[in-house]
Amino acid sequence: MRFSWSGVLAAAVFTAGVAWSPEAGAVPRELRPGTKANNFEFGPRFGYGFGHRHAYGSAWLDYLYHFSGDQSGPAIGAAAFIGGWRNYFGFASGFMFEWDFQLVPSKNLGLYLGPHVVAGYGFHRFVDDRYHSFFVMAGPTLKLCLNDFWVFWVRPFNFDGRIGRFFQPSVTSAIGAGITW
């Protein structure tokens, strides 16, 4: 095979033409924004409670319905957390509110950032101590919609507060996946 400058020039012109075309920056169909209003999401959640100074893990499950009819805008639903770590076990459920904003609307990319708030009731056991509480949690959510069906999300930090016989603040993180319909 012989080296040809004309072949290199033709490849460069073709690549430049593709790069400057309006379609070159188009987002693949698989990464476009979601068009369905319902989400079911699940994943592991890890945290550290400052009141008893203990680490714990749990499963995060939630259902959200977006009022806009697609994956953006305000959404309400329910969330549940169940699990524990070493001497702690807890179950909590409550109402959830999230407002998803499309991060790159100019590129039509299904990447969303939204704050969420969850509030509800929890039952907890730490060693032999059982107690009930009201909890409030808030933090950001980063989501990616894939094929208008899958949702991959991360909640890098949540600030939690349990109010019962005492106040227990904690910080949690969660990562997971879900489906839309």
Identify the residue whose tokens are 């698989």: 30
Q: Which of 103, 88, 102, 95 is nearest to 168 (CA)?
A: 88
25 assigned to some structural domain: no
20 assigned to some structural domain: no
Mean per-residue pLDDT for 114-123? 97
> DSSP class of residue 51?
T
pTM (global) more than 0.75: yes
Percent of the chain with pLDDT over 90: 60
Q: Mind giving me the DSSP string for 79-91?
A: EEEEEEETTEEEE
19 assigned to some structural domain: no
141 assigned to some structural domain: yes
2 assigned to some structural domain: no
Q: How many domains does the chain have?
A: 1
As a three-state string, the secondary structure of 144-181 is: EEECCCEEEEEEEEEEEEEECCCEEEEEEEEEEEEEEC
Mean per-residue pLDDT for 50-75? 90
CATH number of the domain that 95 lies in?
A: 2.40.160.20
Token duo for residue 76: 């309400």
Does 3 have pLDDT greater than 50? no
Q: Greater confidence, 87 or 130?
A: 130
106 assigned to some structural domain: yes
> Cα(180)–Cα(63) distance, rounded to whole angstroms?
10
> Cα(177)–Cα(100) distance, rounded to whole angstroms?
16
Does 104 have pLDDT greater than 70? yes
